[in-house]
Structure 1
Amino acid sequence: MTSISINMRGIHGDAFCRDGDITYRVPVEHTGDYKRGLMVMFDLIDPKPPDEARAQVIARLKLELATWAKANEQAVCW
């Protein structure tokens, strides 16, 4: 993964995670603590990774989002 950006519209938004030439869109929403908490919904990832690579892609996304969250004083859950 090379970059992460999060675009929020109210309590809902999208996390965009770039992996090479593919950008994955993962829906997120505030967990109730609007300043610190984001719930990441990997079930709705777009585009869907191939079945054989799905677990690996999601594991990389989780690591990148956790690193981003720590650097930005955010909390994430999935």
Structure 2
Amino acid sequence: MARKTKTESLALHLIRALYDSTGGRPMQWRSLAGISEGGETQEAVHLAVDRGWLLVEGGHSVCLTDAGRQLLHGV
């Protein structure tokens, strides 16, 4: 099993926090400050978007995709 990178671990943490914040309900948007500021948070969000786990709107609002919600069943 491949070791997770720091960016991937942060992306999974963000997904878990978003899932918890929304009660796991689909299409629930939340604001995530710091996305547009760069750094580790932005990298983690981009990774999650690239993998189909998150949607981003307006540069600061995030929403879990069905794939992101399903991912948590294996984490």
Q: Is TM > 0.5 for Structure 1 vs Structure 2?
A: no
Q: Which has the higher strand share?
A: 1
Q: Which has the higher helix share?
A: 2
